[in-house]
């Protein structure tokens, strides 16, 4: 009797307090920061910690943020938050240390935060073309960008596109990929299966950005093109999913084949156009948002895929400003806990009360879309401020 009780207590103790040897636990934290972060006076900018390190449980880590002084943001449990003032205009270093449960540095890195003048670009006329998948097709962040640019101190912005003409026009199509915009054309179809950038060339249709701007912008090169793709390209990558290719392999051998083709076509036709590649945003913070996919994909695997694609894009397209290619780090600034849809559901068949569960894995709620718009707006304002300096 006593022997059985001792065994039970030992097992219970080890269940509650798992033992890790120093050799068994090895931190492999992948910290992912972009070359630059952008902010604009009066608008909140965040760096959410769970969005920059690839770990299953963010609660196992602590974070130390280093900024020049107390005027450069505050640190919350989940993020660093910064609402710049007019006095904040300029650039400053932002550094982070990720600490594990033993208070040892598991990762560290730094980036630069650029704060642009509130009136950057005021009095100008500029044009913006936004290209993307369902996150653009929802029209939430395009319409918010239109509203932001209607505020005092901004240029007059023309939004180019064949869709959402009553709001901010764009080229957003649900389910689309880089390959789709380069190749997809179904005779007799509609905008859902016809790339607007393909034009007749003999018996085929080929990418022709020159013809596109002739049809949609009076032949004038756009000042800015933003591209927000990658979610569908990378969704099912992974060892335990429908595709056997790793996310690294898909990024390097599939996605970049078509992203290079598309970007090269824009640059060939419009070398002065500034191209902003919006880095893919993470999914919602819980597996609950992935029930729509049954058992075909998990939140964690998609999080790995998104993080990997973002990392590969930073490696490939980072620090190419001289080619008018830029990275827009929207992934930093989206709240994956509160910025995705949720609804009340009974936790089981016999429960009398409801709990909130995420109801969508990759499509943000309105507040999440507005955070994406804030990130794009801050980048555009920075580029407009740089143009002002060069005049």
Q: Do residues 140 and 256 share a domain?
A: yes
Mean pLDDT value of segment 297-309: 96
Domain termination site, one of 93, 115, 137:
115
Torsion sign, CA atoms 136, 142, 145, 149: positive
Q: Would residue 368 count as lying in a domain?
A: yes
pLDDT tens digits, residue range 179-233? 999 999 999 888 899 999 999 999 899 999 999 999 999 999 999 999 999 999 9
- Phi, then psi, of 47 in degrees rounded to 5: -120, 105
Query: Containing domain of residue 89, as a range?
Result: 23-115
Q: Do residues 164 and 184 share a domain?
A: yes
Q: Do residues 97 and 65 share a domain?
A: yes
Domain termination site, one of 115, 145, 178:
115
User: Residue 29: is it exposed, middle or buried by C-beta count within 10 angstroms (0-12/13-18/19+)?
Assistant: middle
CB 269 within 8 A of CB 206: no
Distance CA 267, CA 273 (A): 7
Q: Do residues 214 and 341 share a domain?
A: yes
pLDDT tens digits, residue range 86-145? 999 999 999 999 999 999 999 999 999 999 999 999 999 999 999 999 999 999 999 999
Domain termination site, one of 70, 96, 115:
115
**Residue 53 banded pLDDT, cuts 50, 70, 90:** very high
Q: Do residues 60 and 109 share a domain?
A: yes
Q: Would residue 210 count as lying in a domain?
A: yes
Distance CA 290, CA 169 (A): 30
Residue 384's domain is classified under what CATH number? 3.40.50.1110
pLDDT of residue 181: 98
Q: Do residues 298 and 344 share a domain?
A: yes
Q: Do residues 40 and 133 share a domain?
A: no
pLDDT of residue 246: 86
Q: Would residue 96 count as lying in a domain?
A: yes
Structurally, how many domains does the chain consist of? 2
Mean pLDDT value of segment 331-352: 97
Q: Do residues 161 and 85 share a domain?
A: no
Q: Would residue 15 count as lying in a domain?
A: no
The CA distances from residue 129 to 75, 84, 275, 346, in Å, are 35, 27, 10, 43
Percent of the chain with pLDDT over 70: 90
Q: Would residue 259 count as lying in a domain?
A: yes
pLDDT of 391 strictly over 80:
no
Torsion sign, CA atoms 273, 247, 78, 66: negative
pLDDT of 58 strictly over 50:
yes
Q: Would residue 204 count as lying in a domain?
A: yes
Residue 44's domain is classified under what CATH number? 2.60.40.10
Q: Would residue 262 count as lying in a domain?
A: yes
Q: Do residues 132 and 188 share a domain?
A: yes
Q: Would residue 336 count as lying in a domain?
A: yes
Q: Do residues 198 and 260 share a domain?
A: yes
Q: Do residues 251 and 374 share a domain?
A: yes
Q: Do residues 93 and 179 share a domain?
A: no
Give the number of other CB atoms < 10 A from CB of residue 190.
7
Distance CA 104, CA 269 (A): 51
């Amino acid at each position: 009797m006593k022997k059985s009780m001792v065994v039970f207590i030992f097992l219970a103790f080890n269940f509650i307090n798992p033992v890790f040897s120093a050799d068994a636990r090895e931190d492999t934290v992948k910290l992912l920061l972009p070359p630059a972060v952008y902010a604009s006076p009066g608008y909140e900018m965040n760096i959410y910690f769970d969005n920059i390190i690839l770990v299953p449980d963010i609660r196992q880590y602590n974070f130390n943020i280093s900024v020049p002084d107390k005027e450069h943001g505050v640190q919350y449990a989940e993020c660093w938050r910064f609402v710049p003032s007019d006095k904040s205009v300029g650039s400053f270093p932002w550094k982070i240390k990720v600490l594990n449960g033993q208070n040892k540095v598991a990762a560290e890195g730094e980036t630069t935060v650029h704060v642009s003048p509130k009136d950057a670009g005021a009095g100008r006329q500029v044009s913006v073309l936004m290209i993307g998948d369902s996150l653009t097709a929802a029209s939430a962040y395009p319409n918010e960008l239109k509203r932001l640019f209607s505020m005092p101190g901004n240029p007059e912005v023309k939004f180019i596109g064949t869709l959402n003409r009553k709001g901010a026009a764009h080229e957003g199509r649900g389910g689309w990929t880089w390959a789709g915009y380069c190749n997809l054309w179904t005779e007799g179809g509609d905008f859902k299966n016809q790339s607007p950038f393909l034009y007749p060339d003999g018996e085929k249709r080929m990418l022709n950005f020159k013809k596109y701007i002739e049809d949609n912008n009076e032949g004038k090169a756009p000042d800015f093109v933003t591209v927000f793709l990658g979610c569908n390209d990378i969704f099912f990558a992974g060892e335990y999913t429908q595709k056997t290719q790793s996310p690294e392999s898909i990024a390097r051998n599939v996605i970049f084949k078509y992203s290079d083709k598309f970007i090269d076509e824009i640059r060939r036709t419009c070398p002065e156009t500034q191209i902003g590649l919006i880095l893919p945003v993470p999914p919602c913070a819980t597996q609950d948002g992935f029930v729509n996919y049954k058992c075909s994909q998990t939140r964690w695997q998609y999080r790995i895929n998104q993080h990997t694609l973002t990392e590969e894009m930073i490696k490939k397209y980072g620090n190419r400003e001289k080619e008018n290619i830029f990275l827009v780090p929207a992934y930093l600034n989206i709240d994956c806990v509160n910025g995705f849809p949720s609804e009340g559901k009974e936790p089981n068949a016999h429960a009398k009360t409801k709990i909130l569960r995420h109801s969508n894995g990759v499509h943000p709620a309105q507040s999440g879309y507005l955070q994406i718009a804030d990130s794009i707006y801050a980048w555009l304002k920075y580029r407009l401020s740089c143009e002002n300096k060069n005049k």
